[in-house]
């Protein structure tokens, strides 16, 4: 299992890195080999009005859905503690769902998953609308499970693969992430100072390195051909 602990616009101290690896790694063992890779990102909120400015985020790529969690506190270690607790709830929920499916020999489970604190008989989460988003094709049951693991109030999904690519400057990145933090999204790459676009895979390996101007032309060419 590959785990990356990195800082966003900050250097991560070795002791904090080790602490995050230990806390998140311990919870990941619950999934018994279902985890492909883990990315932990630590950063400081720049808004001085925010009291809990130390933020810890984790994105866990499994052989099924993606698990994502975010927590904030006044201290980075406290944020990591809260993050590991939330991740543990999500990991146990996912593992239970997988075991339930195996016990039923592949028969899909009902399209509902209990959230933390819910009891049987309470309102089930229901899919009310569909739309193409940056997610792999999935069934209704998989969509409900993904919704729970991401911690969102709703999830837009489709049975056909599609995605939207948005370019955001570094100075607007924090504002963008705050605005869309409740929607499923991911940073697929960054533009270097040499104006080259680096696209990384789920293991953080570079899978594409190309000139931005060339990429822009390839992206816009179909639209120019269609609309003139």
| Residue 146, C-beta contacts closer than 8 angstroms, at least 6 positions apart | 65, 66, 135, 138, 155, 157, 184
Average pLDDT, the chain: 75
The full set of domain ranges for the chain reads 2-111+132-187
Tens of pLDDT, residues 180-195: 777 666 676 778 878 8
Amino acid 156: pLDDT = 54
Amino acid 94: pLDDT = 87
Amino acid 10: pLDDT = 92
Tens of pLDDT, residues 71-112: 999 999 999 999 999 999 999 988 888 777 766 654 444 333
Q: Using an 8 Å Cβ cutoff, are 72 and 44 in contact?
A: no
Structure tokens at 41: 């990102």
Assigned CATH topology for domain 2-111+132-187: Double Stranded RNA Binding Domain (3.30.160)
Residue 122 confidence (pLDDT) above 50: no
- The model's pTM is 0.50
Tens of pLDDT, residues 147-160: 666 665 555 555 44
| Backbone phi and psi for residue 71, each to the nearest 5 degrees, phi listed first | -145, 155
């Amino acid at each position: 299992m590959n785990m990356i602990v990195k800082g966003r616009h900050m250097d991560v101290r070795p002791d904090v890195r080790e602490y995050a690896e230990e806390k998140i790694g311990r919870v990941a063992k619950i999934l018994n080999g279902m985890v492909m890779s883990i990315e932990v990102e630590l950063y400081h909120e720049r808004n001085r009005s925010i009291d809990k400015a130390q933020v810890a985020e984790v994105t866990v790529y499994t052989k099924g859905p993606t698990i994502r969690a975010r927590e904030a506190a006044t201290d980075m270690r406290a944020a990591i503690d809260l993050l590991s607790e939330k991740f543990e709830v999500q990991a146990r929920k996912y593992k239970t769902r997988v075991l339930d499916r195996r016990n039923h020999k592949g028969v899909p489970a009902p399209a509902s998953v209990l959230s933390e604190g819910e009891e049987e008989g309470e309102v089930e989460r229901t899919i009310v609308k569909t739309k193409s988003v940056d997610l792999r094709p999935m069934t209704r049951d998989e969509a409900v499970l993904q919704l729970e693991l991401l911690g969102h109030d709703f999830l837009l999904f489709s049975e056909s693969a599609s995605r939207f690519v948005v370019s955001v400057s570094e100075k607007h990145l924090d504002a963008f992430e705050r605005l869309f933090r409740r929607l499923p999204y991911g940073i697929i790459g960054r533009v270097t100072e040499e104006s080259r676009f680096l696209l990384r895979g789920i293991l953080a390996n570079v899978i594409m390195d190309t000139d931005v101007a060339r990429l822009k032309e390839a992206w816009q060419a179909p639209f120019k051909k269609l609309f003139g």
